Structure 1
């Protein structure tokens, strides 16, 4: 059956998931550039565009938590309506459109953007749409601006491409539309499993593909619909993506994934030597993908590449502020990667983490850390590398200055209230906004309900549990223990109270530091105030 013209073969029957992608947060993008000693001209207030924003969660969090002018488009009107509803709740300066990339390109009211981002979309659209995106970047990305693009890539995806083709064939040829897309996806996955079980030689020769199918079976069907079953599905090598964007005068600058910058985790010694011997950046990145068997890239391109020296990097870092977003005791100093383990240098990392934990995780500038009495033996270069690594591992985040935090706080407060109210009926959104980091914070449904109860005046974990349980019971929901539903109301309330106590002891101080909670108390049994309004 021919797809409706407005979808251009893109899945629209099942909604996309409410994903949040920290890699697209403005401070993370700028820090990734700085970590690779790449200059940019991203200004403030920010002008930011997201292409193909899905449900709009990332776009709304970034618009609420950062100063600037935010735009986004997603041609699915249901998703655009959801994004607009969140924008209205926060009051952010955000225009969420339901236009195609071609329609967006034709607008005459677009500003010059400092940042353009798109997550995953590049792999799921036609060549023509990729050319349109390049044209938008050519004409609407400011000189010195940056573009973030993530996409499925080869060689990591190469063995599984025939698996996707097989499932897509079955979906389109062997099942009827009346069954619904979700059921057809299940049937296609089951069919692929039967082909594998038939001892087909392709899967015998590529056993990792059969393992991938097992992982696919456990994915959310809405995710699978968009990830695997669009009419256009094109994993591509880095060099091909770079060639498209070269037409927009864009040059590769860095990966937005700071963990990928830790070579010891991803490359053997000989591989590092090999890459160091390759002068051309496109060839070097391509060889790196072969060394890592890369499946998914998170690339930052810049319009007008300029490198800086390490002294310049250190000088720029002086005013940057950072905060510890994990409990000090939870930071691991032995980290595992594809080629083995790496041990973080304890006499450098431990005192940095301890200093960042001081003052209830209060943000501290690079200059303040450098002047800390316990860090006098740590060089500026060691400090910089440690902060980049800890940020990549999710233990540290760059943060705004106090003026920007104060400006963002009313918007994030309003957005978080709207998101937390959704948690009463749905667990589809697992993030709320931090005005401090300018990014999202992972907070699961039950923890969001604890925050809602606190905002409603409940002062202790037992009261939170009693407040939450009627909503869960009304919806026929139970907590799980040992893989089985907890049967009685009393037991569910007791389990909720225990979860609430753990939340009070381990998470509230972090949420306070990230600006989600206004102020916390040392007594974990007493609730803090929240930067969200009561329902």
Structure 2
């Protein structure tokens, strides 16, 4: 492998994932919940953007100016193609961190984001990133980092070491990364069959190795097989960020803001006795066995007084992005699945069922007669946004509509040949919304003048049939033309009834 990779997997591309925490607009609700002042976002940067889907969606769906880099020329090329298609003006490069972070033409940033990459790079590159954040993040600016953490990786770390050593020592460089991964996983299964003491002490590793066999090889290569790989304790991360003058703000994962979903009452009381915020987060990670953290850090935290916090929360606008019947009164946290109070949640969901934006004040006014307090409305909104049922609505979204239309048109054309990209850009949310391949093909059919579900299904089938593709139903392929068209028509009808009104509300359709 050539030196420019710096030990990072380069002979297989990263996945086409979309990561909503990289959307600066999401900072507002998280900061308000934590009682913190939130900045306005005019400039943003993503370091290690992979295929660049998140960066391009966020650049197209807002008026924020985006910059970023990824060392892979192939990935940067795809990202630049998306930027050109949308006309967003996103400046995306294929430079290594040391080259990009010393560019003289970069502005200062309100938001800098890294998702995953921190765990897979060398300490030298971490120092470069911290220095970049120190110099280029504005006062009051926000840093988002998603990274592998301990103690959640403690049991599997030795197995990860074994897999990479097998790839390096037994695997053949010329056979390609996928072949080496398959060989390493097969070897691990044979080892586990001998019942080593390591497995008796760490029984969950068995299921994890089994899951590796079915996971996307692009993901597995980048998650497990880089030369540098370091799950980092939260307190260690805090020490790394001291030179950049950053302090921990809050979790970017909204459900983390609700202790009742994640720790027992006894654990919560124990945490409240710990005066140091950094040590408290480190201890919490042991309670939930945290494996991946999604954190916001801020350069100069400023607390809001209760009145300012309440007024800002009341002005927040949200929109329901699932059909009313598809919103279960359940949510999963670290403690498992929790039931949501129907007297509180059902009226809120009913109020939003028409998929029109509502402020939290408007929601409260509608449900107040049922005995619901404003604090309960706020908590319900945090839960529903965290579970993916609600999105925050941007204050001004009409200015981004042209760019998202162009980007989505390009992505819909991509869906003709495959389903790697499963989200489209919404100027309403300033971010991405999950849309599967078939729904994308139905949208494409509509854009070309086909008006009815049966026509959308026929359009989709013509593309699939030309490529020798068939649908799966209950895990089995549908063989005949009639079966495939019938299934597509059923899905197109469901799309028209349930999902199309939501896509209209999001200004995607």
TM-score > 0.5, shorter chain as reference: yes
Partner of 1:31: 29
Question: Where in structure 2 are the equivalents of 1:391-410 lying within 5 Å?
Answer: 391-401=385-395, 404-410=396-402
Indicate yes or no: 2:12 matched with 1:20.
no
Question: Where in structure 2 are the equivalents of 1:371-520 lying within 5 Å?
Answer: 371-372=365-366, 377-401=371-395, 404-517=396-509
Q: Which runs of 5+ in 2 are unaligned?
A: none
Q: Secondary structure at the match of 2:36?
A: coil
Bigger Cα displacement from structure 2, 85-94 vs 28-37: 28-37
Checking the alignment, whether the CA contact within 8 Å between 2:44 and 2:110 is kept in structure 1 is yes
In the TM superposition, residue 365 of structure 1 has moved relative to its aligned partner by 1.8
| Matching residue within 194, 198, 201 for 2:197 | 201
Indicate yes or no: 2:172 matched with 1:176.
yes
Mapped to 2, the partners of 1:228 and 1:312 lie a distance apart of 45
| Matching residue within 316, 325, 329 for 1:329 | 325
Partner of 2:72: 76
Q: Secondary structure at the match of 1:318?
A: helix
In the TM superposition, residue 375 of structure 1 has moved relative to its aligned partner by 5.3
In the TM superposition, residue 208 of structure 1 has moved relative to its aligned partner by 0.7
Partner of 2:232: 236
Mapped to 1, the partners of 2:309 and 2:372 lie a distance apart of 17
In the TM superposition, residue 130 of structure 1 has moved relative to its aligned partner by 0.7
Partner of 2:7: 9
Checking the alignment, whether the CA contact within 8 Å between 2:331 and 2:387 is kept in structure 1 is no
In the TM superposition, residue 374 of structure 1 has moved relative to its aligned partner by 5.6
In the TM superposition, residue 342 of structure 1 has moved relative to its aligned partner by 2.9
Aligned residues, how many?
509
Indicate yes or no: 2:153 matched with 1:157.
yes
Bigger Cα displacement from structure 2, 464-473 vs 141-150: 464-473
Per-residue CA deviations over 1:204-227 (Å, capped at 9, x if unaligned) read: 211111111111111111111100
Checking the alignment, whether the CA contact within 8 Å between 2:347 and 2:367 is kept in structure 1 is no
Indicate yes or no: 2:40 matched with 1:43.
yes
Mapped to 1, the partners of 2:336 and 2:231 lie a distance apart of 27
In the TM superposition, residue 264 of structure 1 has moved relative to its aligned partner by 1.4
Indicate yes or no: 2:302 matched with 1:310.
no
Question: Where in structure 2 are the equivalents of 1:245-394 lying within 5 Å?
Answer: 245-357=241-353, 360-372=354-366, 377-394=371-388
Indicate yes or no: 2:58 matched with 1:58.
no
- TM-score normalized by the length of structure 1: 0.93
Q: Secondary structure at the match of 2:113?
A: strand
Bigger Cα displacement from structure 2, 220-229 vs 196-205: 196-205
Checking the alignment, whether the CA contact within 8 Å between 2:255 and 2:333 is kept in structure 1 is no
Bigger Cα displacement from structure 2, 483-492 vs 89-98: 483-492
Q: Secondary structure at the match of 2:156?
A: helix
In the TM superposition, residue 200 of structure 1 has moved relative to its aligned partner by 1.3
- Do the aligned partners of residues 333 and 483 (structure 1) sit closer, same or farther apart at CA in structure 2, a change above 3 Å counting? closer
Per-residue CA deviations over 1:151-195 (Å, capped at 9, x if unaligned) read: 110001011000000000000000212211111100001101111
Per-residue CA deviations over 1:38-59 (Å, capped at 9, x if unaligned) read: 223x225x20000000000000
Per-residue CA deviations over 1:280-336 (Å, capped at 9, x if unaligned) read: 011100000000000000010000012223332111123221111111222222334
Checking the alignment, whether the CA contact within 8 Å between 1:319 and 1:367 is kept in structure 2 is yes
Q: Secondary structure at the match of 1:371?
A: helix
| Matching residue within 129, 133, 138 for 1:137 | 133
- Do the aligned partners of residues 397 and 56 (structure 1) sit closer, same or farther apart at CA in structure 2, a change above 3 Å counting? same
Mapped to 1, the partners of 2:468 and 2:80 lie a distance apart of 31
Checking the alignment, whether the CA contact within 8 Å between 1:369 and 1:375 is kept in structure 2 is no
The structure 1 segments of at least 4 consecutive aligned residues displaced by more than 4 Å after TM superposition are 373-376
Q: Secondary structure at the match of 2:300?
A: coil
Q: Which runs of 5+ in 1 are unaligned?
A: 518-535
Q: Secondary structure at the match of 2:296?
A: strand
Checking the alignment, whether the CA contact within 8 Å between 1:64 and 1:411 is kept in structure 2 is yes
Mapped to 2, the partners of 1:174 and 1:305 lie a distance apart of 50
Checking the alignment, whether the CA contact within 8 Å between 1:328 and 1:354 is kept in structure 2 is yes
Mapped to 1, the partners of 2:188 and 2:9 lie a distance apart of 20
- Do the aligned partners of residues 377 and 489 (structure 1) sit closer, same or farther apart at CA in structure 2, a change above 3 Å counting? same
Mapped to 2, the partners of 1:316 and 1:92 lie a distance apart of 29
In the TM superposition, residue 269 of structure 1 has moved relative to its aligned partner by 1.2
In the TM superposition, residue 366 of structure 1 has moved relative to its aligned partner by 2.3
| Matching residue within 109, 115, 122 for 2:118 | 122
Per-residue CA deviations over 1:130-149 (Å, capped at 9, x if unaligned) read: 11111111000000000000
Checking the alignment, whether the CA contact within 8 Å between 1:351 and 1:374 is kept in structure 2 is no
Mapped to 1, the partners of 2:171 and 2:471 lie a distance apart of 36
Mapped to 1, the partners of 2:499 and 2:32 lie a distance apart of 30
